[in-house]
Amino acid sequence: MSTQPPRSWFEDLFRTIDTATWNDLPQFFHANVVYERPGYPPIEGIDALLTFYSSTRIIAEGKHSLDGGLRDGGKAICWGHFHGRSKTGETLAERFADAYELENGVIKKRTTYFFRAAI
């Protein structure tokens, strides 16, 4: 396993998300991707993922800042912070961690975790 985070892969992914460059998302995600995220039912398939990002997600704008990440074969993880603004104007600040299952170098499954009390 690499001890140095493969920063460019994660940075490219989050730059695409942060700049709302939705046409570039399929280069990171498998056609049959499953995305599990708190507060939403599982998002299944690239078309549903594109709809989520382009219209469902509450975020109007923001930036992910990575604190670290690891990628080893078919698995990857990263963690960091998100700061932005919701579509209603609310300030958003959230710590997160993502776990990924990869197939042929693209994300087949993504699970996002937020750092807050839930239970």
Indicate whether 119 belongs to any domain: no
> pTM for this one?
0.89
What domain range is 61 assigned to? Answer: 7-114
CATH number at residue 70: 3.10.450.50
Residue 50 included in any domain: yes
Q: Residue 2 falls within a domain, yes or no?
A: no
The structural domain count of the chain equals 1
Instruction: From residue 102, give the alpha-carbon distance in Å to each of 3, 56, 72, 76, 89.
Output: 18, 24, 9, 8, 35
- Do the domain assignments include residue 104? yes
Give residue-wise pLDDT tens across range 22-67. 999 999 999 999 999 999 999 999 999 999 999 999 999 999 999 9
Phi-psi region of 98 (alpha: psi -120 to 50; beta: other; left: phi over 0): beta
Averaged confidence pLDDT in the chain: 92
Residue 13 covered by a domain: yes
